[in-house]
Amino acid sequence: MMSISYKKLWKLLIDRNIKKKDLCHSARVSHSSLAKLGRGENITTDVLLRICTTLSCDFSDIMEIVDE
């Protein structure tokens, strides 16, 4: 079974020294949406787009498909 992993996002935040709460504020993303990412749950592409726009990156920089 395939799923989406957001480990790349967490590594990117660490590499850029950005706190999750700061990302929430600058990308206008709710804390609950970020918590969903942490649990690997479904999230809207709008939220992903706002994160990518804020971090000046692409979807592939913050997520990947993994085989469970």
How does DSSP assign 7-33, residue by residue? HHHHHHHHHTT--HHHHHHHHT--HHH
Report pTM: 0.91
Three-state DSSP at 51 gives: helix
Domain that holds residue 38: 2-67
Domain count, the chain: 1
Band of the pLDDT at 30, cuts 50, 70, 90? Answer: very high
The rounded distance, in Å, linking the Cα atoms of 57 and 36 is: 20
The rounded distance, in Å, linking the Cα atoms of 36 and 22 is: 17
Neighbours of 7 (CB within 10 A): 12
CATH number, residue 61: 1.10.260.40
Residue 68 is predicted with a pLDDT of 79
Please give the structure tokens belonging to residue 28: 């206008």
